[in-house]
Amino acid sequence: MDAPVAEADVIFVDFPIWWYVAPHIINSFLTAHDFSGKTIVLFATSGGSDFGRTQDELEDSVYGTTHLMEGQILNGKQGKEELVEYVNSLAL
């Protein structure tokens, strides 16, 4: 794992939603690293899908004490102020 990621307590993982789930490469990324003790905030881009069962599908891809947190769908309509407000609302 790269040093900046290893030192981080919170990691934001962005991906497109395809038919209500994350692409398989996201599972591969999560299983390839030990994120124990870290919080991973999932957020996604989508033209119409919501998170569906994405978080459930990814739960088995993280180890130990990793906290997997569902974020939100970002579709390009959010401005900077809305994004800052959203991140601050996560109480990380």
Residue 1 burial by CB count (10 A; 0-12/13-18/19+): exposed, middle or buried? exposed
Which residues have C-beta within 8 Å of that of residue 50, sequence separation ≥ 6?
Answer: 17, 20, 73
Model confidence pLDDT, tens digit, residues 6-48: 788 999 999 998 888 889 999 999 999 889 999 999 988 887 7
Q: The tokens of 25 are what?
A: 């490469």
Residue ranges of domains in the chain, CATH in brackets:
3-89 (3.40.50.360)
> Hey, which residues does 16 pair with through a beta bridge?
45
Contact between 47 and 75 (Cβ < 8 Å) = yes
Model confidence pLDDT, tens digit, residues 32-43: 988 999 999 998
Question: Parallel, antiparallel, or unpaired for β 67-73 and 39-45?
Answer: parallel
Tell whether pTM > 0.85.
Answer: no
